[in-house]
Structure 1
Amino acid sequence: MDIIKHVAPLCYLCFYLFTSPLVTSVNVDHHLLSVQWPNSYCSVPFTSKTAGRKIPKCRRRIPQEFTIHGLWPQGSNSQRLRDCVNNSLPAGLSRTKKVLDKFMELQNVLHKIWPSLDNDDLAFWINQWESHGSCSGLEEQWVTATKRLYELADVAKLTGKFKVNTLYTVDEVQSIISSVTKWVTTVKCSIDRNGHIVFHEIHFCADASARILKNCSEIPGWNASRGCTTNRAIFPPLP
């Protein structure tokens, strides 16, 4: 068992190292800390390259509290920055290994606040690093920054503040979030398997260094919501 425990992370490292795209680094304007309502994630279809639109096959037991989706660097005009991997293979190996080591160091906490809802946690974390964190310029500190911003935003205090299957307006949701966390955010809605609009994610904003939270309303072009096309929506119950 000890051998498997140590070999598995190296297997993930090798897989992502040799399948990652090679692109140059970019300038970061700010970051979004995305936290998700697990029931929404598990009821909203996503697009698969191989299977088309499908519902996630979530774990039997999923948290009933907001969990981290990821920390996403944004460029100017809030352009999402993705898939930034060093062109040098030795350098890529070095930086990815450092990030992997940081994940393993903090895994006891991350399993609770940053779980995968439908996959292996480590695979989920590395995917988020490769897709988003690699563009942050923070290297392994991106992992620490994600955890710290989650704590600074007092996300855990939102547990129980929203009743499932109860209609809320975006303004009502924003009011509750700001009263609990003291921050102005962006709320994301999605369409569930039944065609209903549901509240899905909350996006907190942070500076380019991912050290300081800021009101999202300070960012040019900010909107209070994304995808919330109806006057009211719900936080769905367990699917």
Structure 2
Amino acid sequence: MNAPNLELENNLIKQGYKMIAGVDEVGRGPLAGPIVASAVILNLKGSDPLGSAPYLSLIRDSKKLSPKIRTELDVKIRETALSIGVGVVETDVIDRIGIGKANKLAFLLALANLKVAPTFIITDYLKLTSSDICLFRLLKLPRTPNITPLLKNQMNIKFGDAVSISIAAASIIAKVHRDKMMGDLHTKYPEYGFNRHKGYGTREHLEALKIYGPCAIHRKSFSPIRQSK
């Protein structure tokens, strides 16, 4: 599969959309920990964004990068992006509403946390609708973010992190953010090895579940956790 590029973004810019947010998530599959999404508006001004910011050509789907390269790119993206928003949905909410709706809520939170309003949104597959805004109520926020207008112009691309640099950049931000969270949680629950497997269902993790049972950050609605109780 080819590396992601800016073809989609350039076409949107030609149509008049200047602030393009790529949105992606990590953490749908793990047995423990949050799902984290990121929305990234890259600085694509000028006639040659790749020439003025060569690091963009190194961006890939976060799963295809080493931790070292991923962290280096995370720093570069944060230094140069016009805006970055991160959305975190914790385990208790995942168990209440299911991973599909939790995924949407993480996307919505990431968009709500942008400091710059995007004029177009490109997501990795998931489509957001105005009816999804009601998911904000689950978080008991002081006020519901008014992001419905942002959802009007969007494109949802299967395997988008392999197509769009903006989506791939969002996957990197989300991955580094979640990995740090899981590293911090490892200090609280060291017996599970969260710093190594990040909550995914590895052999090490499943063996720890047999010995210790689930902890507070395990997803009780996921089958392996239900069976380990």
TM-score for the superposition, normalised by structure 2: 0.30
More strand by share: 1
More helix by share: 2
TM-score for the superposition, normalised by structure 1: 0.29
